Amino acid sequence: VESDRIATYHEFLVGIPSQVGTLVPDGHTSALRHDHVDSAVINSHVYLTLCVAMHSPKIFPRVLIAQNRLTKRFKTYSYDPFYICRKPSIPLFPRLQFSLKGYDFPTLEKYEIYLNKTLRRWVSSVDSFPLPPKKTLYKVYHPNSTKVKTEFELNHYSRIVCAENVKTVDLPIIFDLVQQNLPEGIELAVEEFDPRLEEERYVANLEVETLQGELTKLTAK
């Protein structure tokens, strides 16, 4: 069985029939004929090519062509699925607002600038706007009396910084960085954007409202 397999393998390489247990085709005398052929020697392309080239130079190119065809025929190809090169999808927050509040106006302004620069490292779209300050009147009374000793008014300033399409994997890093650099006296709150803040940011113009009221009265008459 082994010799039949060797002979078939030899016929495929050389292209012409051969006898069992021989290294060269029929019709060519050779001193290399053997009754018992080692399969390890037959499987060596180099040894087979040298033997055929010594006894028949015309067959040598055909052997090389057969070897090249055999190599191309049994060449293996690696296939990678199309989804391997794809990156995993990272969820994004549509729009977040960072609310800054404090009584110290210069400190609040400096921290707002710092927060803008920090967010632009991870987010391309960053916007900020101020809200009208809320005034609070404080009164200090005399002990055991209703008489006012002193009174003063404090302004509570507020700034809103909005960031769009923030990655969920970047948000914990932003929180740690912003919280570690938060100055004293400044309150920070992160939440989803509230559309009602767009109306609060505009201050009513009393003169325009007065003129519009007078105009409506004239048109009504």
Which of 10-19, 52-61, 168-177 has maximum average pLDDT? 168-177
- pLDDT grade, residue 75 (50/70/90)? low
Structure confidence at residue 91 (pLDDT): 87
Predicted pLDDT of residue 9:
46
**Burial (0-12, 13-18, 19+ Cβ within 10 Å), 95:** middle
Domain ranges of the chain: 2-73, 92-202
pLDDT-derived band at 69 (thresholds 50, 70, 90) equals low
Q: What is the pLDDT of residue 199?
A: 80
How far is it, in rounded angstroms, from Cα 155 to Cα 28? 112
Provide, rounded to the nearest whole percent, the portion of the chain with pLDDT above 90.
35
Radius of gyration of the chain (CA): 45
pLDDT given at position 181: 93
| CA–CA separation, 115 and 41 (whole Å) | 77
CB 185 within 8 A of CB 107: yes
Say if residue 39's pLDDT is above 50: no
Backbone CA torsion sign across 27, 28, 30, 33: negative
pLDDT at 78: 67
Distance CA 190, CA 193 (A): 9
Give pLDDT, residue 172: 92
Count the residues in the chain. 221
**Lowest pLDDT segment from 52-61, 74-83, 133-142:** 52-61
pLDDT in tens, 82-141: 777 777 688 888 899 999 999 999 999 999 999 999 999 998 889 999 998 999 999 999
The mean pLDDT value for 177-191 works out to 93
Alpha helices in the chain (DSSP H): 2-14, 39-42, 45-55, 60-73, 105-119, 171-180, 197-200, 206-220
Please give the residue that has the higher pLDDT: either 26 or 146: 146
Q: What is the mean pLDDT of the chain?
A: 74
The residue with greater pLDDT, 37 or 153, is 153
pTM of the predicted model as reported, rounded to 2 decimal places: 0.53
Which CATH topology does 92-202 take?
A: Alpha-Beta Plaits (3.30.70)
